[in-house]
């Protein structure tokens, strides 16, 4: 089964998420672009291959890892695809208003 | 007159403030500590010498410059003292909720 061979990612628990790490993760144009796309996604998630970024696959992997390890996104493996979504509930609970403030920023 | 010999700092106009720069400026423990102190200050401003940080004067100067150039703080010279304050109105207009979300973060 594909889900059994997928890499086992680790995610910080909610109480392990630090504001400094979240802000650092978000303080990058590419990662901010990813977060905006995830926030706007109808289903709330986007497969890695469908993210609209102009970076190489390995660079994208690095950015997704930074977001994941900071506690900003989660990943869900389905077959060979990995779907990314924002940890909206955790982020809103920890830093109410933060994400909306960032997403409403002028481009 | 001291105000005439004070260094002339430049500040970004409101429409020059970029979310990436603000997030980068805030993604540092010392700078976040400064921002929290300014937010909690009764008068809304704190002189450089009265900020409660454990870094050298030159390091503090660097951190204040980063916050200033990102558009997070303003400075006001009075005699030999420089008073720092948050650009609350600008930040709330550009990124509503951002600062409150950050300030309400668990320590």
pLDDT at A107: 76
pLDDT computed for residue B73 by the predictor: 98
With contacts defined as CB-CB under 8 Å, which chain A residues touch B23? Answer: 23-24, 26-27, 32, 102
| Chain A interface, best mutation among B14, B20, B63, B91, by max A CB count within 10 A | B20
- Do B96 and A99 lie within an 8 Å CB cutoff? no
Check B27 against A20: CB less than 8 A apart: yes
- Residues B52-105: tens digit of each pLDDT: 999 999 999 999 999 999 999 999 999 999 999 999 999 999 999 999 999 988
The CATH code of domain A14-101 reads: 1.10.10.10
- Angle at B95 (CA atoms; ends A83, B48), nearest 5 degrees: 120
Question: What Rg, from alpha-carbon coordinates, does chain A have?
Answer: 13
A99 touches chain B (CB under 8 A): yes
Q: How far apart are the first and last CA of chain A?
A: 42
Burial of B2 (C-beta count, 10 Å sphere; 0-12/13-18/19+): exposed
Contact A12, A71 (CB under 8 A): yes
Please state, as a whole number, how many other Cβ atoms lie within 10 Å of the Cβ of residue A21.
17
Domain spans, chain B: 14-101
Any bridge partners for residue A76, and if so which?
A: A83
Q: What is the pTM of this model?
A: 0.89
Partners of residue A39 on adjacent β-strands: none
Interface confidence, given as ipTM, is 0.86
Predicted confidence (pLDDT) per residue in A2-22, tens digit = 545 556 688 999 999 999 999
Average pLDDT score, chain A? 92
């Amino acid at each position: 089964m594909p889900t059994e061979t997928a890499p086992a990612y680790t995610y910080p628990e909610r109480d392990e998420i630090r504001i400094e790490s979240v802000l650092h993760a978000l303080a990058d144009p590419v990662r901010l672009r990813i977060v905006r796309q995830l926030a706007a996604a109808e289903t709330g998630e986007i497969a890695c291959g469908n993210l609209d970024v102009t970076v190489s696959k390995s660079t994208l992997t690095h950015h997704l890892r930074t977001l994941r390890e900071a506690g900003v996104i989660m990943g869900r493996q389905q077959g060979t695809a990995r779907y990314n979504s924002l940890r909206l509930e955790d982020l809103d609970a920890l830093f109410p208003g933060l994400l909306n403030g960032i997403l409403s920023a002028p481009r």
